[in-house]
């Protein structure tokens, strides 16, 4: 082969590589333009009604409860609240100027093929906002050990300042290719540590030990299969779907008369589109008063005007106040845990009283 032919071949290959690179550049530029991802820190985002607060490290966003975010009682569902937590967290990273093209991953994380995964989430709900209500959501981050990050939220009424819900979570990094947990690289720590604060939304974060359920659990739903719509940008099932699977095992009659006041989730393994899931649920019956025992709070007795002629609120059969949950990936040999959970409940429209 002549040197001229060889040169022409190299030139052709270089032209092809250049063309591919140019196409990829144009695609990336077009996507970034559509997303409008900030390349540097910005204090106000008028499109999302969000702004940086607390000296520029916290994030505050004003939101309105939409019609598709409420249930039959016109109050926001737990799933809507969890989606709101996720959205404001991502918007916080967005405004920091650190967001890559990943699901909340920073530039250094993208460089190291790292993504965030949540290991623990705790939400406390005092009351639920209603359709059309305007909320203020505050979120911020802090250190959690050497290689983790804590993120907290506070959801308040824009009009009165009433706190609807508080939440705290713990996050670690996973290698996107190996799907194994990773230590936090120093360049990533250098990106996010200036944003760390020490305040907590739930000051007394009680780490309840959630027991593992087995096939003897009172309630179970089997053969649950994720849909494509259940997957997030990291290609695993979104944690909001996990909560839906958990709550669907609780009897409908109970859900009609009770509302969730707190939930604790401990994540063990990610779930993919090909997995078959089993949801187990066990009521904590040992904490439920039995029969017509009027001495319902240990040594305290409820007054007759609260109990009424037919017992507390017309019926003393309140049901359990707590449930333990477990999601499993059903395997041919071994079942793998996805997430353990513990939910606490209270009756709807209860008559307030003090002791």
Chosen CATH of 208-355 out of 3.30.450.40, 3.30.70.2740, 3.40.50.300, 3.10.129.10: 3.10.129.10
Mean pLDDT of the chain: 82
Length of the chain: 355
Predicted confidence (pLDDT) per residue in 213-240, tens digit: 998 999 999 999 999 889 887 678 988 8
Predicted structure pTM score = 0.80
User: Regarding the domain delimited by 36-205, which CATH topology (the fold level of the hierarchy) does it fall under?
Assistant: Thiol Ester Dehydrase; Chain A (3.10.129)
Q: What is the share, in percent, of the chain residues with pLDDT greater than 90?
A: 60
Q: pLDDT confidence of 194, banded at 50, 70, 90?
A: very high
Q: Which residue has the higher pLDDT, 10 or 145?
A: 145
Residue carrying the six token digits 């760390």: 196
Exposed / middle / buried, residue 247 (Cβ in 10 Å: 0-12, 13-18, 19+): buried
Q: Give the pLDDT band (50/70/90) at residue 27.
A: very low
Q: Identify whether the C-beta of residue 294 lies closer than 8 Å to the C-beta of residue 304.
A: no
Per the CB < 8 A criterion, the answer to whether 77 and 231 are in contact is no
- Is 142:198 a contact under the CB 8 Å cutoff? yes
Tell me how far CA of residue 108 lies from CA of 91, 113, 159, 268, in angstroms.
18, 9, 40, 25
Report whether pLDDT(322) > 50: yes
Q: Phi then psi for 165, rounded to 5 degrees?
A: -150, 155
Query: Which residue spans of the chain are classified as CATH 3.10.129.10?
Result: 36-205, 208-355
Confidence of residue 110 (pLDDT cuts 50, 70, 90): very high
Going by C-alpha positions, the residue among 51, 24, 175 that lies closest to residue 102 is 175
Q: Which residues are catalytic?
A: 234, 236, 271
pLDDT(34) > 90: no
Bridge partner residues of 153 (DSSP) = 139, 167
Q: How much is the pLDDT for 325?
A: 98
Compute the average pLDDT of residues 262-288. 88
pLDDT digits (tens, 9 = 90+) for 69-79: 999 989 999 99
């Amino acid at each position: 082969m002549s040197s001229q032919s060889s040169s022409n071949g190299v030139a052709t290959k270089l032209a092809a590589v250049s063309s591919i690179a140019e196409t990829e550049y144009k695609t990336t530029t077009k996507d970034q333009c559509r997303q409008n991802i900030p390349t540097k820190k910005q204090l106000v985002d008028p499109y999302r009604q969000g702004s940086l607060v607390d000296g520029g490290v916290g994030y505050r966003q004003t939101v309105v409860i939409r019609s598709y975010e409420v249930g039959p009682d016109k109050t926001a569902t737990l799933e809507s609240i969890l989606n709101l937590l996720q959205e404001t967290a991502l918007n916080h990273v967005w405004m920091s100027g650190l967001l890559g093209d990943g699901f909340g991953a920073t530039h250094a994380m993208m460089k190291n093929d790292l993504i965030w995964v949540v290991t623990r989430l705790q939400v406390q709900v005092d009351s639920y906002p209603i359709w059309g209500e305007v909320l203020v959501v505050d979120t911020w981050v802090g250190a959690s050990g050497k290689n983790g990050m804590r993120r907290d939220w506070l959801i308040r009424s824009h009009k009165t300042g009433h706190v609807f819900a508080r939440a705290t979570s713990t996050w670690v990094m996973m290698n996107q290719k190996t799907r194994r947990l990773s230590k936090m690289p120093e360049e990533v720590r250098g990106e996010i540590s200036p944003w760390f604060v020490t305040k907590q939304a739930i000051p007394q974060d009680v780490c309840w030990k959630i027991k593992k359920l087995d096939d003897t659990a009172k309630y179970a739903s089997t053969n649950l299969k994720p849909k494509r719509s259940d997957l997030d940008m990291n290609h695993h099932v979104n944690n909001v779907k996990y909560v839906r699977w958990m709550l669907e095992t609780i009897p409908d009659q109970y859900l009609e008369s009770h509302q969730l006041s707190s939930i604790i989730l401990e994540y063990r393994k990610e779930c993919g589109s090909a997995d078959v899931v089993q949801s187990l649920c066990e009521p904590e019956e040992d904490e439920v008063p039995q029969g017509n025992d009027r001495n319902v709070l240990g040594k305290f007795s409820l007054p007759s005007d609260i109990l009424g002629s037919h017992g507390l609120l017309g019926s003393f059969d309140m049901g359990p106040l707590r449930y333990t949950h477990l999601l499993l990936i059903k395997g041919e040999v071994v079942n793998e845990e996805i997430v353990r959970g513990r939910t606490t409940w209270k009756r709807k429209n209860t008559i307030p009283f003090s002791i």
